[in-house]
Chain A
Amino acid sequence: MSQVTAPPVRRRRSALQRRVSLAGIGFVTPFMIGLALLIIAPIVYAIYLSLFRTQLIGGTAFVGFGNYATLLQDAKFWASFLRVLLFLVVQVPIMLVLSLIAALALDSARLHGVGFFRIAIFLPYAVPGVVAALLWGFIYGNQFGLTAWVNSAFGWHLAPLAPSWILGSIGNIVTWEFMGYNMLIFYSALRVIGTELYEAAEIDGAGAWRIIFNIKMPALRGSIVIAVIFSIIGSFQLFNEPNLLQSLAPNSITSYFTPNMYAYNLSFAGQQFNYSATVAIVMGIITGVISYIVQVRGTRAENR
């Protein structure tokens, strides 16, 4: 992926080369300044903060890696981490498989009204997470929400906001929001498969399933890797949905329901900014490492 696409033309005069390289630096500089100030600086600052401890009574003290040592033994942090990990391994595959099915169906040329399906399934992506959580919060209510109606109509006992259901209910909201988005990513990748591949398959007399597994799936690998990475990042960052649903499910959604909620509550309810920064740093490292592994494995599989 890092293959150089503009091979340096060696025969040019060095003046031109210098001009080109200066221009390149010029194009990239504004972004890099922003990156340095708005992403790298906060990271460095967070690392700095994580080395101190401030008390409401008694002020600030340097504690080295003390906060990290505390974090390693912090049952709340690990509970929140395991919860998003569970979310990740359950919700993400379900969502991506659904997206994949939808994308393959759109691409199958066996569907009526492709344009309508495409945009209709994509629409929830345009709904802000806040609105999605409010909206589903209303629907989940088992007094006047749709859930109440479903329960009385079918005699069920759905309780989407109960502790044992809540993670699934949040997973449903996230799936609803991002299924269409991932579907489009996959669909776009399918659209650029060269016709010659299909023609060759047709000559071979390959059936629909063989085309899916031998042509379409390999072509989708790159976009699946991207979707997985973004879903990992999204899962580890889970905040808006549980935070907004908390008022509806105060006992199901604890103050450390996800690592991000934990960090938020440490900072703004507990005034433990230093420890909160530690949580942020550790989660950043874990997310980065896992994303990197997925990326490397994904590309390696591709090169085989």
Chain B
Amino acid sequence: MSGVTMRPHRRSGSHHVRPRRNLVLTIVMALFVVYSLVPLIWLVINSTKTQADLFTTFGLGFGKHFVLFSNIAQTFTYKDGIFLHWLLNTLLYVVVGAGGATLLATLGGYGLAKYAFPGRRAVFGVVIGAIAVPGTALAVPTFLMFSKLGLTNTPWAVILPSLISPFGLYLIWTYAIDAVPIELLEAARVDGASELRTFFTISLRLLTPGIVTVLLFAIVATWNNYFLPLIMLSDPTWYPLTVGLSQWSAQATGVAAQPIYNLVITGSLITIIPIVVAFLFLQRYWQSGLAAGSVKA
């Protein structure tokens, strides 16, 4: 760690190594890309097929009918539009859960990085320890606790546990150490600004890339959350997309089975689009945020 400068250098590449482009390397990377994208391409292609075509036509080729739009329409109207419910629930869980998690982690990480107070080392130790606690190992006891409190089958059961992200706090902590110079805080103190005001007017702006990174990871975590809502919720009107899709998939089983593979596939595609878009648009922020988190260990 020692001696590493934290300012991300925008190297052009031409300064220190020969700028020769390497074809072999490009081919190797192209293989990586094929591996990464083929399943996604499969998803896109197959969301344009009818269920009959899914069974009868080649996986990476188009079907006899191009029904992407009717699949999308069906996905949103099947069973009185339950899918839209799930989408909105997921948004609720993401906004409140990931937003809250980011807020708490930002405050905590900033406090740990910039303030000396008794017990700070202990707090830090607990947080680091909590990172290593396997989240799903907590699921069953959390479920039992929540069911005693009557919180199961309510949105709180999904939101509350997602509010605490020890890794998020840790990321902010590492980021805040260098991003917010202590002199700036002292100057603000001399000017008589309150600590909270300083945080909102000065520090928050400096922390933005770190916060965006934590927010994105929190969004991914809540958007992908499956285990917890699976055991906490019994009413499908509270399901997030992940649990809903697995229910649609499981509906192909048993007496009165109703396989809707075309809707499962189209629904999956719709599920990943918002998050992919979020990543693409916020690329610039999270990359520099990651840079800070990645070098500290």
Residues in chain A within 8 A of chain B (CB atoms)? 1-2, 4-6, 8-9, 16-17, 19-28, 30-32, 34-35, 38-39, 41-43, 45-46, 49, 98, 101-102, 105-106, 108-113, 116-117, 119-132, 134-136, 138-139, 144-146, 149, 176, 179-180, 184-186, 188-189, 191-195, 198-199, 201-202, 208, 211, 219, 221-223, 225-226, 229, 233, 236-237, 239-240, 244, 247, 260, 263-264, 267-268, 273, 276-277, 280-281, 283-284, 287-288, 291-292, 295, 298-299, 302
Contacts and interface: CB of A to CB of B under 8 A. Distances in A.
From B4, B121, B186, B283, residue with most partner A Cβ within 10 Å? B4
B184 to A, nearest CB: 12
26 contacts: A1-B296, A6-B114, A16-B189, A20-B189, A21-B117, A23-B115, A24-B116, A24-B117, A31-B164, A35-B130, A105-B25, A105-B29, A109-B19, A111-B25, A123-B37, A123-B40, A129-B226, A138-B46, A185-B293, A185-B294, A188-B287, A194-B9, A219-B295, A226-B294, A263-B140, A284-B134
Q: Nearest 5 A-B pairs (CB), nearest first?
A: A24-B115, A27-B111, A109-B13, A31-B108, A198-B16
A195 B5 CA distance: 10
A43 B46 CA distance: 44
Contact of A295 (B117, B142, B297): B297
Interface residues on B, range: 35 or more
B276 A123 contact: yes
Contacts of A149: 58-60
A240 B226 contact: yes
B271 A131 contact: yes
A41 B297 contact: no
B35 interface: yes
Contact of B295 (A116, A223, A264, A277): A223
Contact of B25 (A19, A35, A108): A108
Interface of B: 1, 4-9, 11, 13-17, 19-22, 25-26, 28-29, 32-33, 35-37, 39-40, 42-43, 46, 54-55, 58-60, 104-105, 107-108, 110-118, 120-121, 123-124, 126-127, 129-138, 140-145, 160-161, 163-164, 166, 169, 177, 182, 186, 189, 195-196, 199, 220, 223-224, 226-227, 231, 241-243, 245-246, 249-250, 253, 261, 264-265, 268, 271-272, 275-276, 278-280, 283, 287-288, 290-291, 293-297
Given A6-B182, A31-B164, A134 B245 contact: yes
Given A39-B164, A139-B59, A34 B104 contact: yes
B250 A247 contact: yes
Contacts of B231: 264, 268
Given A136-B39, A192-B291, 8 more contacts: A28-B107, A32-B108, A43-B141, A108-B17, A131-B271, A185-B293, A192-B5, A284-B134
